[in-house]
Chain A
């Protein structure tokens, strides 16, 4: 009885984690803001932010980055969705090894996979360019797109599909009215798992593309290499705000689609 009266709360276990998070996550983000708002002489200024929004170079690169990220994410989704759908359908859903085969590359160092793809593409006579960069991104992120969609589809309650068929809907209607909306949370998490990293990373684009497919991540890295911390920090901060915005948007979409099947159950 005594033990139950005294509620056991070992919250102190989280303290090391909290200390690490404050020092190595929160402080660095604040530092980025501080550097972004500091002029060359150390005084307060918003010049760096003005420069970010008025530099035509940045606007062009931002557009290019969003374009590359959106295009490669769309292509990856168009390939991964059918594959996930097939893997989740019978008789394939009983072959565990088959879906594993598609996911395995996820565990291989991505740089080595890109190197492998690069070798094969150059054998086929392809040069460095935008198309190659997009192929590289699609290849790289395919398992990350496939896995969440497959997980949702394979765990989906099949009785919804059967009910739709019993009520006279043809396969196409059933797919668009039942399966697709129910799999939307998987699609959203797959898309956000790919779009965000592609938007901010630059390694694949730099390795597979030419210098013209210069993306915003590479720009930030270059600014810091040149010691231009103020401008680089302002650009980083804008990227941070953008990412948070996209994230909230994604949550909103998956949040509304989450509600649909719950309502249907009632």
Chain B
């Protein structure tokens, strides 16, 4: 009897997981499937499978430039956020106990704050700057990179700081005792140990930047289009079928990257 009920319990648990997995993946799979069909809507008559949408995608200047902007903003801001976030974590790590909590709390402002309020703050700051100096054309991209750096920087700190606390302080001291200067010790002893956390921080900052809609829309909505603003403004009427091709490329890329990183991680763990 007991064996029967535990087998039943196992089946029930599998069913719950499978139902939720289907709910999560059905939309993504439908988009991937229909990226090979020229039907106007997902769920329409499929017709013969074709790569037409992919060809269309590479002729859609607007969507390509949105993708380009998204990638440039994401990569540059994630890089800057990683540099600023890591140096900040190291600096804060060595601060006196009285100042430390205040500075640490300051890093949480943008994490906690509503995105729309942060976006408005940037908007007002730009308004003031515009009154003082004339802003050259094309500055929007730089402004967005700054904004994305500022909002993703705390997340880099959240990944780097815990790692910093785990480090063995004796290693750094040993390096300095052996005659290496503080700077050299930091770069040759501490930095290599933080590298893994910095990569995770970079990846997190990059994804957050790709996902951002509100900050981008409010601060450069009329001048610079990213994938997010492109989809948002087009979902009601003007969204073309080729967005399915772009979605598919992104889904497959994300999946591939995640699987590769996980395989590498598992191999490393097994080697230990």
A residues at B contact (CB < 8 Å)? 3-4, 8-18, 20-21, 24-29, 31-32, 35, 79, 82-83, 86-87, 89, 91-92, 96-98, 100-102, 104-120, 122-124, 139, 142, 196-197, 199-203, 206-207, 217, 220-221, 224, 229, 232-233, 236-237, 239-240, 243-244, 247
List the A side residues contacting B235 at CB < 8 Å. 114-115, 118, 207
Q: Which of B31, B87, B214, B262 interacts with A116 by CB under 8 Å?
A: B31
For residue B43, CB closer than 8 A to chain A, the reply is yes
Q: Secondary structure at chain B's binding surface: helix, strand, loop or mixed?
A: helix
Task: For chain B, residues 213 to 272, give those with C-beta under 8 angstroms from any C-beta of chain A.
Answer: 213-214, 217-218, 227-228, 231-232, 235, 239, 243, 246-247, 250-251, 254-255, 258, 262, 266
For residue B52, CB closer than 8 A to chain A, the reply is no
Q: Which of B17, B26, B247 interacts with A98 by CB under 8 Å?
A: B17
A29-B121, A83-B17, A108-B254 known; A113 vs B27 contact (CB < 8 Å):
yes
Are A109 and B28 interface neighbours, CB within 8 A? no
A86-B16, A224-B123, A236-B120 known; A105 vs B228 contact (CB < 8 Å):
no
For residue B94, CB closer than 8 A to chain A, the reply is yes
List the A side residues contacting B103 at CB < 8 Å. 14, 18
Q: Which of A25, A87, A111, A123 interacts with B41 by CB under 8 Å?
A: A123
Q: What's the minimum C-beta distance from A252 to chain B, rounded to whole angstroms?
A: 15
Are B186 and A10 interface neighbours, CB within 8 A? yes
List the A side residues contacting B115 at CB < 8 Å. 197, 200-201
Question: Once the chains are docked, how many angstroms separate the CA of A2 from the CA of B110?
Answer: 42
Q: Which of A12, A17, A100, A247 interacts with B258 by CB under 8 Å?
A: A100
List the B side residues contacting A3 at CB < 8 Å. 173, 176-177
Question: Once the chains are docked, how many angstroms separate the CA of A207 from the CA of B250?
Answer: 21
Shortest 10 CB-CB contacts between residues of A and residues of B: A14-B91, A28-B121, A123-B43, A200-B114, A17-B88, A13-B91, A116-B27, A119-B42, A31-B124, A111-B228
Q: What's the minimum C-beta distance from A34 to chain B, rounded to whole angstroms?
A: 8
Are A25 and B30 interface neighbours, CB within 8 A? no
List the B side residues contacting A86 at CB < 8 Å. 13, 16-17
A32-B124, A102-B21, A112-B227 known; A14 vs B88 contact (CB < 8 Å):
yes
Are B42 and A120 interface neighbours, CB within 8 A? yes
A13-B90, A113-B27, A116-B27 known; A92 vs B13 contact (CB < 8 Å):
yes
For residue B109, CB closer than 8 A to chain A, the reply is yes
Are A203 and B213 interface neighbours, CB within 8 A? yes
Q: What's the minimum C-beta distance from A105 to chain B, rounded to whole angstroms?
A: 6
Q: What's the minimum C-beta distance from A154 to chain B, rounded to whole angstroms?
A: 15
For residue B188, CB closer than 8 A to chain A, the reply is no
Are A201 and B214 interface neighbours, CB within 8 A? yes
For residue B46, CB closer than 8 A to chain A, the reply is no
Beta-carbon nearest neighbor of A219 in chain B: B116
Are A112 and B88 interface neighbours, CB within 8 A? no
Q: Which of B28, B91, B210 interacts with A10 by CB under 8 Å?
A: B91
Q: What's the minimum C-beta distance from A38 to chain B, rounded to whole angstroms?
A: 11
Beta-carbon nearest neighbor of B213 in chain A: A203
A10-B91, A28-B121, A35-B124 known; A123 vs B42 contact (CB < 8 Å):
yes
Q: What's the minimum C-beta distance from A143 to chain B, rounded to whole angstroms?
A: 8
Beta-carbon nearest neighbor of B117 in chain A: A236
Task: For chain B, residues 1 to 38, give those with C-beta under 8 angstroms from any C-beta of chain A.
Answer: 10, 13, 16-17, 20-21, 23-24, 26-28, 30-31, 34
Q: Which of B42, B95, B110, B250 has the most CB of A within 10 A?
A: B42
Q: Which of B110, B118, B177, B239 interacts with A115 by CB under 8 Å?
A: B239
Q: Which of A20, A240, A243 interacts with B84 by CB under 8 Å?
A: A20
A21-B107, A202-B116 known; A107 vs B31 contact (CB < 8 Å):
no
Quick one: CB contact mask for B100-131 with A, threshold 8 Å, 1 for yes?
Answer: 00010011011011111110111111011000
Q: What's the minimum C-beta distance from B149 to chain A, rounded to whole angstroms?
A: 8
Q: Which of A4, A28, A120, A197 interacts with B173 by CB under 8 Å?
A: A4
Beta-carbon nearest neighbor of A223 in chain B: B120
Q: Which of A28, A120, A221 interacts with B124 by CB under 8 Å?
A: A28
Q: Which of A18, A108, A111 has the most CB of B within 10 A?
A: A111
List the A side residues contacting B172 at CB < 8 Å. 8
Are B124 and A112 interface neighbours, CB within 8 A? no
Q: Which of A25, A35, A203 interacts with B109 by CB under 8 Å?
A: A25
Are B92 and A207 interface neighbours, CB within 8 A? no
Q: Which of B34, B85, B218, B228 interacts with A17 by CB under 8 Å?
A: B85
